[in-house]
Amino acid sequence: MAEKVVILGGGVGGMSAAHELIERGFEVEVYERQLIAGGKARSIPVLEGEDDHGSKEEHIRALKDWIGMHGYDLPPGVKRPWLPGEHGFRFFPNFYRHITNTMSRTPYYDKGTCYDNLVPTTQVLVSQFDHPGIIVPERFPQSLKEVANALKTFAFTISPRNEIDFEDIEHFIGCMWRIATSCKERRFDEYERIGWWEFIGAAERSEAYQKFLAIGLTRSLVAAKATTASTKTVGDVAIQLQLGIATPEATSNRLLNGPTNLVWIQPWLEYLKSRGVVYHFDSKVTGIECRNGRIASATVEQDGTQKQVTGDWFISALPIERIAPLVTPAMTKVDPGLAKLPLLAEDVQWMNGIQFYLTKDVELAHGHVIFIDSPWALTAVSQKQFWSQIDFENWADGKTKGLLSVDISEWDKPGTNGKTARDSSREEIAKEVWEQLKRSLNVDGNIVLRDEELHYWFLDPDIVEDPDHPARESNVEPLLVNRINSWRLRPEAATLIPNFMLASDYVRTNTDLATMEGANEAARRAVNAILRRSGSEAQPCEIWDLHEPDILQPLRAYDYARYQAGEPWDERFAIAVEAALRMGQDATGTKRGGQGPLAAIGPLTAEYSKPGGIVEDPAISDALRMVAAPPELYNLMAAHLPGRDTPIPGADFAEDLAIGIVEATSPPTDTSGRKVIITQKG
C-alpha cells in the first residue's frame, strides 16, 4: 500500500511537492485555505456585476458565484462574465529552472505543456516623473533596433540623465565584479552580513546613483529593499539577470501568454487530480500535533468544523507567517531550529497587485516597466500584448481592450497625495497609483494614460481593513524578503522531525529568493528527503544551482584559497582599472555620459530605438531581416561561448597561486584566531 503524504498549503510549493510525489507512487492529499488554487501565484476572477473591486466581502461573494458557474472548468476561448485579475503579474526570469521544468511536465489540455505558454520579453522601460523613459534590453540584441536600444542603454547606464559621474558608475561595476569573482563561501559568510546599500556605498554617493543603481535594481527583485536587503541575495540574482542579457540565446525573461490560472495553475491542478492527488479547498490549518518525536496529525478547519488529518508523512507548504504560529514546544524540542521561524516571520514586506482595465490598449514596453520615481515603488506589465490566448471580447462586458497590471511594493512612504498606501482606503490607493502612473508616462506632451479610458480597477483582496486600526490597511499574504543575515534563521527542507518537511519559499535553497522558483526548489528538496527517509528507490528530484560565469572560475578559485586563509577579496585589479579610467577621464575632461564620444551616438540611437522610429517602417524592417543573422546563429554562439560549456583552464593554477601568495604574506587564522596551515587545495 502506498505511503500517504499530507501537504498543508496548496500554493506553488504544495502543488510542486504533490507533482513530484504522485509521479513517484505516493498517496497525496493537499489542504488549501483559499477557494482557488495557486496561492500567491493565483489569478482571480473579477465580477464587475458584483461591484468587485477586491474588497474581501465583495470578492468572496464574487468568487462563490464563479465557483457556482464552474468557472474553473471553462477552457480558453469560452465567453466569461468576469475579468481576469491577478494577485500580481507573473515573471519567469531566464535563470528559473525548477519551476519551468515542472511546467514542461504539465500537460496543457491537448496543446503541449504549460511551459509552452511562456513567452519572452525583450525590454524593460525605466520610467521617471516628468521625463521620457529609457528602454533597457532584456536579451542579447537580435536586430538593428535592439542594437540601437543596447547602445542607448549603454550611454544611459554610463550616466543616467547625465546625473551620475563616471567615477560612481565605475565603483558600481567594481562592486558587481567583486561579487562575480568571489567564492560562494565568502558570499554566504561575509556578503550575507552586509546590506546592499552599504556594499555599493550608496550613502556616500549621489541621489541619482541611489535611485537608479541601488534602489532601481532591488525594485525588480520582489519586495527587496536596498537599505536592508542582503548583498548575497541581491548580488547573486543581479549576476543571473545580467548573464541572461549578455548571453546570445533566443529567449530571455518570460511572461505567461494568458491569466495565470487559465494557462498554468488550473491545467496543473487537473493533471495532479487525474494522477490521484486529492485537493481540498477552503481548508485552514489550525494546528499540528507532535507526539513521540513525530508529527501525528494536523488540525484542519472545514465548513466551520475541526477535523484531524493523519498520514505517514507531512509537508508544510504554508507561508512563513502562517507556519510560525503553528510551531509547538513539542516540535522545537525535536528540532530547535524551528524556534527561529517566528523571528523569520518578521522579515516580510508587502507586494500586491492592482489591475487597471482600459477601453484602449496601451503597450508601454515589451516587458516590465519600473517606475523609478514612484513613491510607492510601482512596477507594471502591459498584459494584452503577451496574452495571445485571450480575446477580451469574450470577457465580462467586452469593453476592456487593454490591461495594465501593477505591483505596489512600498506601502509605508507618502505618495503624491501625502498619504501612505497603508493609510489609504482602497479607492484612494487606486486613485493614487493611477496618478503616479500618469505622471511617469504622460510626459513631453505625449498622453499615454487618459482618465476617460479607465474602465475598471481591481485591488488584490489580500489588502483588508486592519481590525486593530480601522483607518489602516492590513495584508493577509505578505512576502518574505531577504534581510541582512537572515540565512541563519531559515530552515532546511528536511527538519529533524523524521516525518515532517518544509516546502515553501523561506526554506534554504540555491534560489535564495522568495519566489515561485524558490518554492518549487524547496518542494523538490522536501520530496527528496522523504525518498531518502522512506527508503524509496524512486529517482530523486533534480535540483540545479545558480549559473556561475564559467570564464571567471579561476578568479573564484583564487578567492576561495584566500578565503580559506582568512584573507579578504583581492581588490588590486579593480583599483588599478578604476585608476586608469579616472586618469583618462581627467585627461579628456569627460566626467559624465553626456560628454565626449557618447554625445555623438545619442541622437542616432534615439532615432533608431524610439517607438515608431525608422526601423519600424515595414519596408525597412523587411530589408533588415534579410541581412540579419539567423536566430540559429545566436543559439550556436550561446553554446560555444568561451567557457560556457567547456572547462576553463587555469583554475588550478589560480588556486595554487593564491595559496602561495597567502602563505608568503601572512600566516592564516581560523575563526577562533588559531593559526592554520593549508596542506591541500580547497
Considering only CA atoms, which of 314, 265, 260 is closest in space to residue 287? Answer: 314
* pLDDT-derived band at 633, boundaries 50, 70, 90: very low
Q: Is residue 191 within 8 Å of residue 184, measured between CB atoms?
A: no
Considering only CA atoms, which of 76, 68, 2 is closest in space to residue 275? Answer: 2
Confidence at residue 246, expressed as pLDDT on a 0 to 100 scale: 55
Three-state DSSP at 195 gives: strand
Rounded to an integer, the average pLDDT of 630-640 is: 45
Q: Is 350 exposed, middle or buried (0-12, 13-18, 19+ CB in 10 A)?
A: buried
Residue 69, all three cell numbers: 458557474
* pLDDT-derived band at 555, boundaries 50, 70, 90: confident
Could you tell me which residues are beta bridge partners of residue 255?
A: 119
- Between CA 502 and CA 509 the distance in angstroms is 12
pLDDT for residue 625 is more than 50: no
Three-state DSSP at 457 gives: strand
Rounded to an integer, the average pLDDT of 607-621 is: 51
Please state, rounded to an integer, the average pLDDT across all residues of the chain.
Answer: 82
Sequential DSSP letters for 5-19: EEEE--BHHHHHHHH
Confidence at residue 267, expressed as pLDDT on a 0 to 100 scale: 96
* pLDDT-derived band at 678, boundaries 50, 70, 90: very low
Q: How far apart are the first and last CA of the chain?
A: 47
Helix axes 516-534, 12-22, angle to 10 degrees: 40
Could you tell me which residues are beta bridge partners of residue 465?
A: 473
Confidence at residue 656, expressed as pLDDT on a 0 to 100 scale: 65
Return the percent helix, strand and coil in the chain, to nearest 5: 40, 20, 40
Considering only CA atoms, which of 626, 634, 637 is closest in space to residue 250? Answer: 634
Residue 136, all three cell numbers: 533597457
Q: Is residue 102 within 8 Å of residue 272, measured between CB atoms?
A: no
Burial 379-394 (b: 16+ CB within 10 A, else e): bbbbbbbbbebbebee
Could you tell me which residues are beta bridge partners of residue 7?
A: 30, 315
pLDDT tens column, 516-537:
999 999 999 999 999 999 999 9
Torsion from C-alpha of 409, 411, 417, 423, nearest 10 degrees = 150
- Highest mean predicted confidence (pLDDT) among 251-255, 289-293, 671-675: 289-293
Sequential DSSP letters for 233-259: HHHHHHHHHHHHHHS--S--SEEESS-
Residue listed under C-alpha cell 476617460: 452
- Highest mean predicted confidence (pLDDT) among 298-302, 362-366, 486-490, 647-651: 298-302
Residue listed under C-alpha cell 547602445: 151
pLDDT tens column, 165-181:
777 888 888 898 899 88
Residue 602, all three cell numbers: 545619442
pLDDT tens column, 597-610:
444 444 444 544 45
> Which runs of consecutive H residues, i.e. helices, occur in 303-400?
320-323, 329-334, 341-344
pLDDT for residue 18 is more than 90: yes
pLDDT for residue 309 is more than 70: yes
Which residues, including other chains, have CB under 8 Å from residue 641's CB and lie 6 or more apart?
247, 248, 551
Residue 677, all three cell numbers: 596551515
Residues composing the chain: 682
| From 100-104, 271-275, 392-396, the region with the lowest mean pLDDT | 392-396
Q: Is residue 368 within 8 Å of residue 91, measured between CB atoms?
A: yes
- Between CA 356 and CA 435 the distance in angstroms is 12
- Between CA 15 and CA 503 the distance in angstroms is 10
Bigger pLDDT: 653 or 100? Answer: 100
pLDDT for residue 504 is more than 90: yes
pLDDT for residue 160 is more than 70: no
Confidence at residue 423, expressed as pLDDT on a 0 to 100 scale: 95
Q: What is the DSSP letter of 279?
A: E
Checking phi first, is residue 673 left (phi over 0); if not, alpha (psi -120 to 50) or beta? left
* pLDDT-derived band at 49, boundaries 50, 70, 90: confident
Which residues, including other chains, have CB under 8 Å from residue 588's CB and lie 6 or more apart?
596
